[in-house]
Chains A and B, each alone.
Chain A
């Protein structure tokens, strides 16, 4: 059996924390550490808590988020940091994060984002935490078809009534699952799989 990944969630809302916690526990791959409601003492506590993954509400970071994240990276170099978003967050703040989960993400999108965060940061022979579901979800398929038709992320967001941010997260997952990056390549994928009928 693969070792569980320890996850530290820094999030004040009990509802959000419990929801995320049960989603992660359900997979049987994560061990959720105690909830932290604020990020101020995180620097001191990281060395003793030793999480494998940090999920943090970006609005809790100090006024110098870049420095703060750099200090986490110094303390836990192999620990990926995922931003947890459910309110308006400044673009410039979000740009500090390579991985972002949105409260409106589907279960599979959320898990895929977390898997890819862990996967890219753990050694190659250890693929614990990696989801083995590589089939596209229904929502990802919807996004794929619109990308293949040449729509921009903004246009797709408007059409599906979701945020641009969620669209980009779907696009990332589509590329992660299929290995295809270019719009032309995704169009070929969609046509081969008969997704372009409508």
Chain B
């Protein structure tokens, strides 16, 4: 498991996906040989929170329990999740769409409309899901963190909708590499498959953080404010 004392570069050497998390914490590249603790304190990020997220992204069977959450500085949680949404909606989803459309246009025929429609529906669904969380769940977390109890409402998102979104991304990869004509833009098609798989893996961890950290943490704050 990672600790704040370790070199940030060693975390990335152990799991290169962590490099994609840095912008969500506001940490730029070029950190040299500094420890996680030093890099974090230079950018006003609680090191224990960052290490917790990196551990979830790296160790598949790791999940912090409520005691550990209570002992961690969780203030950046809402910001972190929002930044993840930004990365998905403003960078990855448009990037994947651009390549998918390019490939669909080149193949033409019935494939073109079918693929574009599937992706458009998926994108609407996931963006609505993010929006709902940002509108209801994150503000609720923030006010609880400030000690304001407010009305107790059920968190908007559910495991089921996360599972459905991940299924659709995985279905898309299957469709792209199994059923599209293989001779049209093969290199771009393979890159597209990798891009979608990468996004899918990222979103699965993101969903895990929302289901197994955000929700229990909100419930914990609610109980402790009684």
- By the criterion CB–CB under 8 Å, are B115 and A188 in contact? yes
List of B residues within 8 angstroms of A187 by Cβ: 118
- Return the chain A residue nearest B173 by Cβ: A179
Counting chain A residues whose Cβ lies within 8 A of the other chain, the interface size class is: 10 to 19
List of A residues within 8 angstroms of B175 by Cβ: 180, 185, 188-189, 192
List of A residues within 8 angstroms of B179 by Cβ: 189, 192-193
B87 interfacial contact with A, CB 8 Å: no
A73 interfacial contact with B, CB 8 Å: no
- By the criterion CB–CB under 8 Å, are B110 and A184 in contact? no
Interface bits A166-193 vs B (CB < 8 Å: 1, else 0)? 0000000000001111101111110111
A184 to B170, CA, bound (A): 12
- By the criterion CB–CB under 8 Å, are A191 and B114 in contact? yes
Q: Which of B163-212 contact A (CB under 8 A)?
A: 164, 167-168, 170-172, 174-175, 178-180
List of A residues within 8 angstroms of B91 by Cβ: none
Q: In angstroms, how far is the closest chain B Cβ from the Cβ of A194?
A: 8
Beyond A178-B174, A180-B175, whether A188 also contacts B167 by CB under 8 A is no
A-B pairs with beta carbons under 8 A, tally? 45
Q: In angstroms, how far is the closest chain A Cβ from the Cβ of B170?
A: 7
Q: In angstroms, how far is the closest chain A Cβ from the Cβ of B93?
A: 16
- By the criterion CB–CB under 8 Å, are B110 and A182 in contact? no
- By the criterion CB–CB under 8 Å, are B167 and A181 in contact? yes
- By the criterion CB–CB under 8 Å, are A192 and B111 in contact? yes
- By the criterion CB–CB under 8 Å, are B164 and A185 in contact? no
Question: Which residues on B are within 8 Å of A, measured CB to CB?
Answer: 110-111, 114-115, 118, 121-122, 164, 167-168, 170-172, 174-175, 178-180
- Known contacts A188-B175, A192-B180; 8 further A-B pairs (Cβ under 8 A): A180-B171, A180-B174, A181-B170, A184-B171, A185-B167, A185-B174, A186-B171, A191-B114
Question: Which residues on A are within 8 Å of B, measured CB to CB?
Answer: 178-182, 184-189, 191-193
The 6 A-B pairs of least Cβ separation, nearest first, read A185-B171, A181-B167, A182-B167, A179-B174, A180-B171, A182-B168
Q: Could you list 15 A-B pairs, sorted by A, with CB under 8 Å?
A: A178-B174, A181-B170, A182-B164, A182-B168, A184-B121, A184-B122, A184-B168, A185-B167, A185-B174, A185-B175, A188-B115, A188-B171, A191-B114, A192-B179, A192-B180
